[in-house]
Chain A
Amino acid sequence: MIEQVTVFLENDKGRLSALTRALANADVNMIALTIAETSDYGLVRIVCDKPAEAVAALEAAGLRAIVTKVIAVVVPNRPGGLAELLETFDTLGLNIEYGYCFSVADGEAIDVLKVADVDVASQAIEQAGYRLATIS
């Protein structure tokens, strides 16, 4: 399980740069960033080295940020890597709310997935033979 930072951002000029500047000033290093956007607002999801500090820095900058628990699974960086993982989720009957992937070195990728019950899902996925990533 890892802690992801979710930020509520209005679709407006300069908001995303204000967000990244606040994190930079707080010396937070981002590993991944994705945006789920609607016509009015966006949800920015960030994996970083210091989630608690990141939330504090963002709130201090006037943004609304929360910590969300997600699972991060290590998969082989080859065709079919994610397909096999998702099939395992299907077999286990675990629903995924959203997800995104980011590649890392050594022939492995990390898939971040949001599920309803992170602890139950983590256990089941580990028992199915997967390794969970930690971020530090």
Chain B
Amino acid sequence: MQSDCSTTRERHAMKKPQDILTAPHEELEAIQLEGVKKTIINCYENVPFYHNLYDEAGFDPYSVKSLADLAKAPFTTKQDLRDNYPFKMFAVPNEDIREIHMSSGTTGIATVGGYTEHDLDIWGDCFARGVWYADGGPTDIMHVCYGYGLFTGGLGAHYGGVKAGCTTIPMSAGNTERQIRVMREMGSTILCCTPSYAMHLADTAIAMGIDPKKDFKLRAGIHGAEAFSDNFRRDLEKKLGYKVLDVYGLTETMGPGVAIECMEQNGLHLAEDHFYAEIIDPKTGEVLPDGEWGELVITTVDREATPVVRYRTRDITRILPGECACGRTHRRIDRLHGRTDDMLIIRGVNVFPSQIEDVMKTFDQVSSWYQIELTRKGHLDVVTLKLEPNPDFDFDEVRAIEQLQHDIQARLKSALSVGIRVRIVEPRSIPRSEGKAVRVIDKRGDDQ
């Protein structure tokens, strides 16, 4: 088995890096099994956390003979990574580490990712697939306005751009008007940033009197780091005259590039030669069959510095059954419904912000910006959805606004089975963000 795999790898090394994307799935599975076995043993032998975890659970790391056997291994959680902050999850000595990244840590202690030279190389390769999926390459100008720094977005996209041969512009986040000038003057063709920032760029450009469809040369946007609805995507594509590809990733397994959409826009192709994905029932931990929604669990196939085994991402998705029309063999995950920790529980009903977004985007009278505010009245949760009117909405009569609020509320009620109060607010009163948009304000803990 081992020699088969290395032949496979060598054979691919002789060809273009894209060739792995259409390799027969059995070849990918062979690479995955080989890699997963190595990862588990590497973790057990070099990371004390895994050593203790497996000994305590009675799991024999040398017993894995098939990918299905992996289901016997215990899960790794974000809390485990936090407990081992900063370097205790590293499987290689310090002299092999080339770079460090960290999750934003907005909800607790940050988690740390370490990268060897090889890890940086595969990261670039994974993100470069986004460029290849967009039929791009060395003739493209990639405009990266994810934040550069500890956040994986900026440098992850950057390495991908360089790997794919693009002229890569390290704009980083902020200074929107300058972003727009550079995009226009340098003729950027691929835009990498959060979807909400892309919308802000589009709206600001339009407000500056620029027609992005004519004045920009954008072809594709590789947008991620936050969930966005299909309607939001269509709106973006209409404004910027390009194609939006969703990118998924997380610091705990690498960064953006774990999975990226192709031009079919029908699910994100996992980089299966680098990551093994399972979907589990978040309550029971049981592995679910393809097609069923659940929590995504990732095992790294060839990560050296910070490998993870069965890491619970808390992201809700499913494996899309069947093959993609693009001809690539790597399996696809569906667009994310949100994270288990983004999920709002409103009067006992589970609601994802993206579901609210999907409903609200069917109304032309309101813009793409929204904010969900949660308050508590007595013992009852009150959800208020704040929306801004669009320039062409004729709001001259109070009745027109009340009718609109009523119509959106009615559609939300039938889609989500939960009552949401809709409030039309002044344009530009919902804060714009340069990174991840703040969609939910939870004031339920505040004294009222």
Give chain A's interface residues, CB within 8 Å of chain B. Answer: 6, 8-10, 15, 36, 38, 40-41, 43, 45, 59, 62-64, 66, 68, 97-98, 114
Instruction: Mark the stretch among B20-28, B152-160, B227-235, B424-432 that contacts chain A.
Output: B424-432
Number of A-B contacts (CB under 8 A): 51
Q: How far is the CA of A38 from the CA of B398 in the complex (A)?
A: 8
Question: Given A10-B429, A64-B389, does the pair A98, B397 have CB atoms closer than 8 Å?
Answer: yes
B398 to chain A, nearest CB (A): 5
> Does chain A have a CB within 8 A of B423?
yes
CB distance A9 to B426 under 8 Å? yes
Interface string of B382-421 (1 = CB under 8 A from A): 0000001101001111110110000000000000000000
Which of B394, B402, B423, B429 meets A66, CB within 8 Å?
Answer: B394
Query: Chain B, interface size: which category?
Result: 10 to 19
Q: Is the CB of A8 within 8 A of B398?
A: no
Residue of B nearest to A43 (CB): B398
Whether A62 and B395, one on each chain, are in contact in the complex, defined by CB atoms closer than 8 angstroms, is: no
A9 to B401, CA, bound (A): 12
Taking a contact as CB atoms closer than 8 A, the residue among B395, B396, B399, B427 that contacts A63 in the complex is B427
A8's contact among B399, B423, B426, by CB below 8 Å, is which? B426
Contact B396–A43 (Cβ < 8 Å): yes
Q: What is the bound-complex CA distance between A121 and B399, given in angstroms?
A: 21
Give the residues in chain A near B394, CB-CB below 8 Å.
66, 68
Specify the chain B residue showing the minimal Cβ separation from A5. B396
Which B251-295 residues have a C-beta within 8 angstroms of A? none
Contact assessment for B427 and A6 in the assembled complex, using a CB-CB cutoff below 8 Å: no
- CB pair A6–B426 under 8 Å, yes or no, is no
Which residues of chain A have C-beta atoms less than 8 A from B402's C-beta?
A: 38
Docked Cα-Cα span, A8 to B427, in Å, equals 9
Taken together as a complex, chains A and B put the C-alpha atoms of A10 and B423 apart, in Å, by: 11
Query: Of all chain A residues, which has the CB nearest B405?
Result: A40
Please determine whether A114 and B389 come into contact, CB atoms closer than 8 angstroms: no
Closest-CB distance, B369 to chain A (whole angstroms):
13
User: Which of B389, B399, B423, B427 is the one whose CB lies under 8 Å from A40?
Assistant: B423
Which residues of the partner chain B approach A98 to less than 8 Å between Cβ atoms? 397
Tell which of A45, A63, A114 touches B426, judged by Cβ atoms closer than 8 Å: A63
Q: Assuming A10-B425, A41-B425, is B396 touching A64 (CB within 8 A)?
A: no
Of residues B389, B396, B397, B399, which shows the largest number of chain A Cβ atoms within 10 Å of its Cβ?
Answer: B396
B424 near A62: Cβ-Cβ < 8 Å: no
Q: Let me know if B425 and A68 touch, CB within 8 A.
A: no
Excluding A38-B398, A43-B396, A64-B427, 19 further A-B contacts by CB distance (< 8 Å) are: A6-B395, A8-B426, A8-B427, A36-B398, A43-B397, A43-B398, A43-B401, A62-B426, A63-B426, A63-B427, A64-B391, A64-B426, A66-B394, A68-B394, A68-B396, A97-B397, A97-B399, A114-B396, A114-B397
Q: Given A62-B427, A63-B426 in contact, is the A8-B397 Cβ separation under 8 Å?
A: no
Task: Provide the residues of chain A in CB contact with B427, threshold 8 Å.
Answer: 8, 62-64
Closest A-B pairs by Cβ, 4 of them: A68-B396, A64-B427, A6-B396, A10-B426
Minimum C-beta distance from A8 to chain B (A): 5
Bound-complex Cα distance A41 to B397 (A) = 12
| Chain B residues closer than 8 Å to A41, beta-carbon distance | 401, 424-426
Q: How far apart sit A8 and B389, CA to CA, in the bound complex (Å)?
A: 9
Residue contact B395 to A8, C-beta cutoff 8 Å: yes
Residue of A10, A15, A38, A66 touching B396 (CB-CB under 8 A):
A66
A59 to B389, CA, bound (A): 13
Measured in the bound complex, the distance between the Cα atoms of B397 and A36 in whole Å is: 9
